[in-house]
Amino acid sequence: METIHRVIREACKADAEAFLTYLKTIGGESDNLTIDEKGLSFTIEQESEFLDTTAQSHNNLCLLSLEGDTIIGSLSLTAPSRPRVAHCAEMGISVLQAYWGQGVASALMEKMLNWAKNPSTGIRKIELKVRVDNQRAIDLYRRFSFVEEGRVFRMLFIDGQFHDGLSMALLLD
Ligand SMILES: CC(C)(COP(=O)(O)OP(=O)(O)OC[C@H]1O[C@@H](n2cnc3c(N)ncnc32)[C@H](O)[C@@H]1OP(=O)(O)O)[C@@H](O)C(=O)NCCC(=O)NCCS
């Protein structure tokens, strides 16, 4: 039987089209993300440029988990360039529903933390917002020692309803 290889690597320009398609799929699968089934409104060229800029940045990261050629998960860290806030990176993570519960998100988190802890990134805090009822994600973040900072009112508006979130953070010291 052929073994399908899973790898985690940084996204590059050439991933733009597949990544935009992936984002539409996960947006349609989950009410826990800020994107819906329409995904992002970027063109392939814009996304390609964005991934290239991210790959060259010292404090931004876009990781892909791939099974063969298929993107099955992704993790992004977005940090500002202004010196007073450049140490705070905002994290986003998603996995295709068919692959949940197989350790894909945990593997992405481990890889991201190894990268972020390198002093050259300057990152000292990773923060995120998660829906209060997204227990699966909250458990994942707690396992990686993230703590709750507070409640985020009306974080999402879906089908006429507001949903509150939690602000969670991990200090890298
Ligand atoms: C939240 C999310 C990222 C978790 O991804 P995941 O790949 O399923 O997470 P993991 O598999 O690493 O860990 C989740 C569970 O699988 C278990 N697990 C880990 N490795 C495993 C393995 N090899 N085999 C079986 N189970 C495993 C973990 O113990 C954990 O158990 P739990 O069910 O008690 O929580 C995913 O559900 C998702 O994308 N959800 C929609 C988007 C979303 O909510 N994103 C976060 C927004 S803040």
Could you state, in order of their start, the residue ranges of all structural domains in the chain?
6-171
The residue among 80, 66, 77, 83 whose CA lies nearest residue 116 is 77
Task: Find out if CATH 3.30.70.100 is the number for domain 6-171.
Answer: no
137 CA to centre of ligand 1 in angstroms: 7
Q: Determine which residue's CA is closest to atom 3 belonging to ligand 1.
A: 94
Q: pLDDT tens for the chain, 173 residues: list them.
A: 666 789 999 999 999 999 999 999 999 999 999 999 999 999 999 999 999 999 999 999 999 999 999 999 999 999 999 999 999 999 999 999 999 999 999 999 999 999 999 999 999 999 999 999 999 999 999 999 999 999 999 999 999 999 999 999 999 98
Q: Determine which residue's CA is closest to atom 36 belonging to ligand 1.
A: 95
* 31-137-168 Cα angle (round to 5): 105
What pLDDT sits at residue 173? 86
Q: Report the distance separating Cα 70 and Cα 40, nearest Å.
A: 19
What pLDDT sits at residue 104? 97
0.85 exceeded by pTM: yes
Cβ within 8 Å of residue 29, ≥6 positions away: 96, 97
30 CA to centre of ligand 1 in angstroms: 13
What pLDDT sits at residue 5? 87
Residues with CB under 6 A from ligand 1: 30, 32-33, 93-95, 100-106, 128, 130, 134, 136-137, 139-140
What pLDDT sits at residue 169? 98
What pLDDT sits at residue 1? 60
The two three-digit tokens of residue 67, written as one number: 């099974």
